[in-house]
Amino acid sequence: MTWDAETIQAGIIGLASGGLGGLTVRPLIGQLPEPEPEPEPEQEPDSDDVAAEVPEPAEPPPPKILYADLADAPGLTIRAVLAGAVVGAVLGLALGREWTLLLALPLIGVGIALAVIDARTRLLPTRLVLPATGVAIVLGTVVAIAQDDRHALVRAFIGLVVVRSIFWVLWWFRSSGMGFGDVRLAALLGFVLGYLGWSEVVIGVYAAFLEFTVPGLVLAAVLRDKSRLKARVPFGPFLLVGAVTGIAFGPWVASSLGY
């Protein structure tokens, strides 16, 4: 990365755009329909021949956090604006004053909203992920036309399919603890990273898993029931942070390795 005037200008543009994107986080969360309550487990009828054993009272699951309450959380907007400004500045400095900024910057707000929702509810709402994927595809097409780079657009769709397929396989093996929301989000990020380059895809995905292991190892050492690990640490925020890491450091890692 060269710190010339254009790069600094791109960083400032990214900082301002990311901050504005942070302002959309509260309305994005607040407009979501509330999650449906989980159905109560059915109880088997008592046998006439054998006295039914009285089960020990189970600890009730915590109530689901309402999106309206999440949107009204104190300090959400200021934290979202600060996070968006930081992410936008990183993307601006990494990508420079290029058309690719048009692909990355508009997705900052929805990315922060998804990270907040998944961190608090362990859900990645389809109502946010799928429209964001559609927006990314439209923006990618516009950028490809502006740059006259059809190969980048083809690579983006290949990245979408490849990254989504990897996460679909991990989801299919239930032991991974991955939800299908992670699969949908992986498709979105695979498209964006794929447009930028294969080094961004590889480093972005690898960084997500690497960054996930840090709190994961800490919780694994604390929790007796390892099956609760995924319930404690949602993967969506790490996917998003990993994608930013791939954009920021992917080309540098590739050049350092001689690719």
Structural domain boundaries of the chain?
A: 5-36+56-256
- pLDDT tens digit sequence for 44-54: 555 554 444 55
- pLDDT tens digit sequence for 171-222: 988 655 688 999 999 999 999 999 999 999 999 999 999 988 876 666 666 6
- pLDDT tens digit sequence for 114-133: 999 999 999 999 999 999 99
Tokens for 231?
A: 């319930």
Tokens for 118?
A: 């998944």
Q: What is the pTM of this model?
A: 0.85
Residue labelled with tokens 């997705």? 107
- pLDDT tens digit sequence for 213-250: 876 666 666 655 555 555 567 899 999 999 999 999 99
Range list of H helices, the chain: 5-22, 25-30, 67-71, 76-95, 100-104, 108-121, 126-147, 150-172, 180-196, 198-222, 229-232, 236-256
Q: Find the Cα–Cα–Cα–Cα dihedral 209, 210, 214, 219, rounded to 10°.
A: 30
3-state secondary structure 102-148: HHHHHHHHHHHHHHHHHHHHCCCCHHHHHHHHHHHHHHHHHHHHHHC
